[in-house]
Amino acid sequence: MSYIEALAGPFLRRLAPETAHHLALRVLEAGGVGPPGSDPDPILATEVAGVSFRSPLGLAAGFDKDARAVPALRQIGFGHIEIGTVTPRPQPGNPRPRMFRLRAQEALINRLGFPSEGLDAVAARLANRPRDLVVGANVGCNRATADPIVDISEGIIRLGSLVDYVCVNVSSPNTPGLRDLQTGSALDRLLERIRQARREVEDATSRPLPLFLKIAPDLTASQTEDLAERLIRQPVDGLAVSNTTVARPATLTGRYRGEVGGLSGRPLFEPSTRLLAALYRILPRSITLIGIGGVSGATDAWRKIEAGAGLVQLYTGFVYQGTGLIHQIHTGLAKLVRDSGYPSLAAVVGTGSDAIGEARPHA
């Protein structure tokens, strides 16, 4: 943890969550970070979809929606950064308040609704991004859109040449109708169009553009099987598992536990990890899985990898624990690899998927 963070942390925690978030982003954008974090142990280096990552640990979409703080986030030590969700046209998102802390569970509930400065502003910033860091763009649709698939395709075409991969968000619970694109014929249409958009970028740039899809943790067993079958017919390079949940575990406490929106943080860890393992067991290995949800330490990241994740992302854990968490996870993962006897982190992927996928939910 940097000196600045140690001083500012208690102050930020007294502010409303979204106010604190925007203030932290401004500080990062202005270069208000400590000395660069140490580079991850080389044993953590991995390759996914033809892209080389210095570690599997990345910052999930939602923290830096408009690509304002990418240089500072690289300095903190992340192996990759996913900016967004970006919508084609600027929009304010849902009315405030729309973000709520559940401190006892290190959880958040948000109903932001894709606040975004739009493609023009984000593209201008990405044109000057650091080239020694893997950066992905998470793209979505405007709330008032005639066709969400057209919006998503526009995001791929506009940002695809500026990033190392694009992730399509069809799983936020805060944009009406968006989750309908995860299954059935709507998913077929989406996959056909985004694969076409990816080809347009690749033809223009003469380089591959990995394409990921981010799904919800609330899919039923039949919806999960349907998703897998359609991805086998029209594959993407990766599946991000998962976004926030609309479920509310009985163990939640705090005055905001009943707020509408997506729940993230520790309560999301078990259901998202079980879904991750289930998908690893039924999808071809050519589709990389990205484990997201409730990661707050090295053992959490390790379990995501055992469940089938080739990459791991976090957001809420970073909000609660700060920049020191990144070094802690990197150090812990490197030790776990060496202690396990595996030659690399990639060799660990999926080794626990059978046991994790069949685990019963916690009471």
Catalytic positions, written as ranges: 172
| Whether the Cβ atoms of residue 143 and residue 108 lie closer than 8 Å to each other | no
Return phi, psi of residue 277, to 5°. -65, -40
**Residue 79 and residue 191: Cα distance in Å, rounded?**
28
CA distances from 336 to 143, 310, 313, 342, 345 (A): 44, 16, 18, 9, 9
Helices (H), the chain: 3-14, 17-29, 70-76, 119-126, 148-159, 184-205, 221-233, 269-282, 298-307, 316-321, 324-340, 353-357
Query: Minimal CA–CA distance to 55: which of 241, 254, 330, 343?
Result: 330
| Beta pairing, strands 134-139 & 165-169 | parallel
**Residue 257 and residue 252: Cα distance in Å, rounded?**
6
Residue 348: DSSP 8-state: G
How crowded is residue 320: how many other Cβ atoms within 10 Å of its Cβ? Answer: 17
Can you tell me whether residue 254 is helix, strand or coil? coil
